Structure formats: C-alpha cells, structure tokens
A = this chain, B = another copy of it.
C-alpha cells in the first residue's frame, strides 16, 4: 500500500509534548493575570468575510491573507490578527456589551509571510483590550496588566519600555520644519539597524534642519533615569501643548504603575522615547516588552492607545487601549542561549503506578483514583510490560515517583529523582508518602 508522506506545510508547526506543555502553561498564567484584572475572554471565528479583514486597507496584511472562495462562493479569509475581529465584534454587538468593555482573546492567526526564524505562518496571539475608556487610569491599567503578565510568566528579567506618541508630535512641532510624523517615524525606525547618520540624513530630506535632526536624535535616546529623560524631553518640546500633554500623561501613567506595585521586581517599566515602531497606529501611550537576557530577539509584546477602534464598521466612536503578548515569539526567545528557560517536562504527570499482575489491576486503578483525589497527577502503566521497561519509561517521561504493588497487596515507592525507596503499607500510606515527596 502506498503511504502518504506525513509532513506539515512550510511555516506551520507541530508542538511536541514538552513544547506544548510549556506554551499551555504560559497561556494559563496569562489568562489568570487577565482575569485578575477584570478581563474576560471572548471568541470570534477564525474565518471571516474577506471584506471585513481587508477593510483595514493595510497592503502588507492584505497580501499575506489566506483568502479563498468557500463552497458557497463567499470570499473568505483566515484572520491575520485579533484586533480587526475585535473591532467587527464590538461594532456588531455594541448593544449587548457593557462599556467600558474589557476582553482578552487567545487564538491562532495566519499570515502568509516568508517563513524565517521566529516568523510562522500560523501562530498564537494573546490580546487584552479595554474599549470605551480614555484617560490615565485606562492607559496605566493596560501597562500594569502587561507588567503583571510578564512577572507571572516567570521568564526572567523583562523590560517594558513606554513612550507616548504625543511626545514625538510635540518634538516635531517644536523643532519646526513641518516634518510629517509618518516620515519621522520611518526614519527613526531605522536607527537600530542603520545608525544615526542615515536617520539624520533622512530627517533632513523630510525637511528638518541638521541641528533639529541632531536634537531629535539626542532627546529620544534612552536614558538610565526616567526623571532625567522627562527633563530633557520637557526642555525640547518647549511650549508645544501636545508635547506637554504627552509628557504629563506618561509621568502619571508611570506613577500609577509604581503605585500598583510594578516598579521593581523581575519586570522593569521605563520611559524610552526611542520607541518608534507602533507609534504609527497608536495615538497616545505605547509600550513594548523585551527579555533582558536576549534583547536581540526583539519585542515579545507590545501595546498602546488607539483613538477609534471600529470606525470601519460603525459610527460609534470607540477609543481604547490594549496590549498583545507574543507567546510564540517568547518561546523562540526562551530557547536562545542565556534565556531563563526552565526544564521542560514531557508529561504533566508526577506519579507512575506500575502495571501489576493482571488480577490486581483493580487495586492499581483504586490507588490511582485515590492519588488523583488527593490532587496528584497520576499515570497507570497500561500494559503488562517488564518492570524495568516501565521504570525506564517513567524516567524518560520525567515522572518523579513510581509505585509498585507487592504480592501481599502493600506498595513499594521509588523516588526517581534521588533514587530512594520506601516500603509502604496500604492506600492511605501511599497517598501520604506521595504527597510528602511531592513537596
């Protein structure tokens, strides 16, 4: 018989047990943080009318759409993010929702990108948004959420860099030259890769004086101290009202993050006026997270404020602020040398109940049931393999404890981490021993 070659599409991935367990664990921690901040889940279809998704008009994302005609002749496409579906959802259900509306969504998205390291054609996105609220409390809430998320993910030291779009607007206003913000953003975005000279030349071409370009590059440099940073920015925006508003807002937001207890610890939240990416679609606060151990992997999460979420679908004006945690990018980053990747486990179980002689199977099932009722995660070996083979399996799976039934109905426990053994009596003794060993 001819076999079909088992393979996946380019840019699509299988997650093996250890990887999938790790991702599921990260997602669960994220969900707990989202819920602790009052964000509940919603779900929207993976497949939408293509016109809904193409409405944004982004040429790049349109080109990357997985788009086709369904069996009923409808033009449909797989979602490329969770924000456009949120906009459609909020417009469609605005009368059923309570505003301010907080939601999180965790789901797969699809982009026909050129596959490369860390870029997949299908990946999981984890978004949280607060829709229908403006002001510092709303902005700060999402920043607090992002700090709390990375702290809970326990992925080593993380720096969340914050900026406000209005500061750049103010700087350009104050520096004169009538440089369009979009052109300045395009230029500043090249800073990391191409250096200050290239950026200065490009800013000049856009209308900024040589001195203005130098000032802009200087004042938007990251600084170790937030207060110093604010002082430099305040001087540079001068009398620009929008610039001063942006600085004041950022200052308030940071003080609220500190008040919520997120100023220190494993997640550091700092002002960074050099953040350009993201400023083009955000209108106020903007944030970006990187792992301190592997900054070169780039952003593992971002967010910011937008003025009007659902303007393509409704006349209701819905301002909002949101963030997105890049789970798959995070997993790539954690696999890099130096990152804080914890030991991976192949199995969620802790305990193996060794398969006894056939007649005693009921006692093995009873013990497994009792151990689970006590909160332990337990496998019973499903076949009558040799004892050595079963212990080898427990070892390969990374299980901690193995329990073998003696002929007289008592049990023998083995701790596979330290190699110690224990002669155990009946079920309650075994449960107590397993709970104690688990620590």
Contact = CB atoms under 8 A, between A and B. Distances in A.
Given A108-B46, A133-B383, A361-B256, A7 B92 contact: yes
A362 B97 CA distance: 28
Interface in A129-168: 130, 133-138, 140-141, 144, 148
Given A66-B47, A373-B261, A365 B42 contact: no
A10 B137 CA distance: 39
A207 interface: no
A318 B97 CA distance: 49
A15 B37 contact: no
A38 interface: yes
Interface in A1-46: 1, 3-10, 12-17, 20-21, 23-24, 28, 31, 34-46
A20 B42 contact: yes
Contact of A21 (B41, B262, B355, B372): B41
A380 B137 contact: yes
B3 A15 contact: no
Interface in A37-79: 37-49, 51-52, 55, 66, 68-72, 74, 76, 78
Interface stretch (A170-178, A179-187, A208-216, A308-316): A308-316
B314 A6 contact: yes
Contacts of A348: 34-35, 38-40
B122 A6 contact: no
A382 B17 contact: no
Interface stretch (A98-106, A287-295, A409-417): A98-106
B92 A14 contact: yes
A112 interface: yes
A300 interface: no
A110 interface: yes
Nearest to A261: B369
A47 B3 contact: no
A225 B68 CA distance: 54
Contacts of A36: 372, 376-378
Interface of A: 1, 3-10, 12-17, 20-21, 23-24, 28, 31, 34-49, 51-52, 55, 66, 68-72, 74, 76, 78, 88-89, 91-93, 96-98, 100, 102-103, 108, 110, 112, 122, 130, 133-138, 140-141, 144, 148, 252, 255-262, 310-315, 346-349, 355, 361-366, 368-370, 372-373, 376-384, 393, 396-397
22 contacts: A4-B52, A6-B89, A6-B92, A6-B314, A8-B48, A10-B72, A13-B43, A15-B41, A16-B96, A17-B41, A17-B42, A23-B41, A36-B376, A39-B348, A45-B122, A100-B383, A108-B108, A140-B361, A144-B365, A257-B365, A259-B365, A260-B365
